[in-house]
Amino acid sequence: GAVVSQHPSWVICKSGTSVKIECRSLDFQATTMFWYRQFPKQSLMLMATSNEGSKATYEQGVEKDKFLINHASLTLSTLTVTSAHPEDSSFYICSAREVGTSYEQYFGPGTRLTVT
Amino acid sequence: GDSVTQMEGPVTLSEEAFLTINCTYTATGYPSLFWYVQYPGEGLQLLLKATKADDKGSNKGFEATYRKETTSFHLEKGSVQVSDSAVYFCALSDPGANSKLTFGKGITLSVRP
């Protein structure tokens, strides 16, 4: 149980285009989902926290107009990287926290974004 | 702000060797502490946790004790296996910050047969 999927697992896009990444909780309902960014050989950096039905809360330094997050249902959150640039190339990971729990997060396998 | 510091890696061990991965933290409140593991090609998985001082988390032969006096949560295993090869992340969750997770940089463990 407690499986989180991400789609796509790998995407290449051209500079200036937008790309959407989906995060789904497959066998549980997630009140809260988190989006992280991971640079090579570095830690996960929290980008934003999204709660179902409300606006996402972004961490300091993360551009909310560039990284659009939508948490439309208890099982789906999306991250859209708008007007992508090569510096946005990274590994994006989502996690989900089950309804009624306070701390445990279940992580997706990640999405590798390459902007050319 | 909150932070987690892990020892530098990578670490390479022979099978059945003893493992210690150091982790220290800085937090303003009373955090919960975690070790996550990321196997090749997979997402992070919770390995073990401890929610208060002197608690010991354990799972799959791994152990870590929440030491408030030294602000540490070192991961240990008495006899590693090849299947333990993965990236290990120490993390804390501050209940005063919506339980957001703060991660260390992670350390890659490779176990040789």
Composition of chain B by helix, strand, coil, percent to 5: 5, 50, 40
Q: Which of B42, B44, B99 sits opposite A102 (nearest CB)?
A: B99
Which A-chain residues 9-68 have CB contacts (< 8 A) with chain B?
A: 34, 41-44, 46, 49, 57
The answer, yes or no, to whether residue A111 has pLDDT greater than 90, is yes
* Maximum CA extent, chain B: 44
Q: How many CB atoms lie within 10 A of CB A10?
A: 10
Contacts with B68 (C-beta within 8 Å, 6 or more apart), sequence order: B53, B54
Pairing mode, strands A57-58 and B23-26: unpaired
pLDDT in tens, A55-81: 899 999 999 999 999 988 899 999 999
Q: How many CB atoms lie within 10 A of CB B36?
A: 24
Q: Mind telling me how many Å the CA of B106 is from chain A's nearest CA?
A: 6
Shortest CA gap B24–chain A (Å)? 15
pLDDT per position as a tens digit, A3-29: 899 999 999 999 999 999 999 999 888
Q: What tens digit of pLDDT does each residue of B74-107 get?
A: 999 999 999 999 999 999 987 765 678 899 999 9
What is the rounded end-to-end Cα distance, in angstroms, of chain A?
37
Contact B43 A103 (CB under 8 A): no
For tokens 């997770």, what's the residue? Answer: B101
In which residue are the tokens 């961490």 written? A59
Residue B102 · residue B94 · CB < 8 Å: yes
pLDDT digit string (tens) for B19-43?
999 999 999 878 999 999 999 878 8
For CA atoms B111, A112, B3, A55, the dihedral sign is negative
Q: Among residues of chain B, what percentage have pLDDT more than 90? A: 76
**pLDDT attached to residue B98:** 62
Q: Which of A43, A46, A107 sits opposite B100 (nearest CB)?
A: A46
Q: Name the residue facing A103 among B32, B102, B103 (closest C-beta).
A: B32
Strand partners, A48: A35, A58
